[in-house]
Amino acid sequence: MVVKMYWISKGFIFTKVDSFVHKLDPRVKLLISIQFFTLALLVSDLIDLAIIFIGIILLASISKILSRLIRTMLFALLFSGIILGINIIAGYSFIYSLQIALRFVAIVCSTSIFFLITSPDELEYVLRWFRIPNDLVFAFVTAVRFVPIILLDALQIIDAQKSRGLELERGNPITRIKNFVPILVPLIVNEVIRSGELAEAMESRCYGVVKKPTVLYELQLNINDKLAIPFCTSIFILGLLFSI
């Protein structure tokens, strides 16, 4: 189970890869992600959704993160199964329910792909570029940075409790949920302690002394970015026209 968790988690965590897409300006990456997201929200039939999936898979292939995106897709498919079931129980047709479920997967993938190709540092620069208050940017980016750390903590805790005889996959569904208490309590306590320590460490390094701290690098569009924007936007507009 731990190995499975680790395997799936890699579908949500940024890793530096040498690819054309990774080198793009983070604002361009965000634009592409928003375009996929918007199309996933607007399209209504299965063929349109299939085209969006092909687009996302193509982008992931160029970015050399296809194997990671597949993990995200599998994770989203678990939840989409629930969505499919609920819609069918609610009396909607199978085709309609399937559209809703797949749309959910497309939305998750279009969001996930942005986080898979954008480092937390780049994310920080984008948010600052949008003039979002510094405290909010810091809180959000820190949360993103801490995802892999929290995951490692969770894996350590699972190992520690398994060594004391905890069997996560034992018992009926209610018992299985209860089995997670010895995992969740230390995990939450640890993260609360860590957040307190982090706040103190930041304050002792002068966090909050100036309202708007300066940055080392400024975002600048290069030639690849200037070509990627019209290219992606024209495909997006075509997609919009096609779906409407």
Partner 1 sequence: MIEFKNVNYIHVNGIQALKEINLSIKPKTINALVGSNGTGKTTLARHINGLLKPTSGNVLVFGKNTKKISVASLSKRIGMVFQNSNHQLFADTVKNEILFGLNNFETDSQIKKNRFEWALNFFDLKKYENTSPLKLSGGEKKRLCIASVLAWNPEVLILDEPTVGQDQVQKEKMLKFISNLNKQGKTIIIISHDLEFLWPLKPNTIVMAKGRIKKTGKMTDIFSDDELLNQTCLMRPQLLDLWMKLNIKEEPPGDITEATDAIRRINGS
**Quick count: other Cβ atoms within 10 Å of Cβ 89?**
9
Residue 167 as a binder of partner 1 (CB under 8 A): the answer is yes
C-alpha span between 227 and 109 (Å, rounded): 24
Give the per-residue contact string, 177-206, with partner 1 (x = CB under 8 A; - = no): ----xxx-xx--xx--x-------------
Give, in order, the Cα–Cα distances in Å from 116 to each of 67, 73, 211: 11, 13, 30
Contact pick of 47, 89, 165, 214 for partner 1 (by CB under 8 A) = 165
Map the footprint of partner 1 across residues 6-25, applying CB under 8 A. 6-7
Pick the closer one to partner 1 by CB: 17 or 107: 17
Pick the closer one to partner 1 by CB: 72 or 161: 161
Give, in order, the Cα–Cα distances in Å from 52 to each of 37, 55, 103, 121: 9, 5, 10, 28
In eight-state DSSP terms, residue 15 is -
Residue 156 as a binder of partner 1 (CB under 8 A): the answer is yes
Pick the closer one to partner 1 by CB: 50 or 184: 184
C-alpha span between 37 and 21 (Å, rounded): 18
Instruction: Name the minimum Å distance from CB 224 to partner 1.
Output: 30
C-alpha span between 107 and 36 (Å, rounded): 8
Range in contact with partner 1 (rule: CB under 8 A) among 40-48, 57-65, 152-160, 229-237: 152-160
C-alpha span between 56 and 62 (Å, rounded): 10
Nearest-CA neighbor of 119 among 237, 9, 188, 24?
24
Nearest-CA neighbor of 102 among 35, 43, 61, 57?
43
Residue 157 as a binder of partner 1 (CB under 8 A): the answer is yes
Residue in the block written with tokens 């799936």: 8
Residue 136 as a binder of partner 1 (CB under 8 A): the answer is no
Residue 161 as a binder of partner 1 (CB under 8 A): the answer is yes
Q: Write the Ramachandran bin of 18: left for phi over 0, alpha for psi from -120 to 50, otherwise beta.
A: beta
Residue 3 as a binder of partner 1 (CB under 8 A): the answer is yes
Range in contact with partner 1 (rule: CB under 8 A) among 120-128, 159-167, 200-208, 212-220: 159-167
Range in contact with partner 1 (rule: CB under 8 A) among 28-36, 113-121, 134-142, 149-157: 149-157
Residue 160 as a binder of partner 1 (CB under 8 A): the answer is yes
Residue 67 as a binder of partner 1 (CB under 8 A): the answer is no
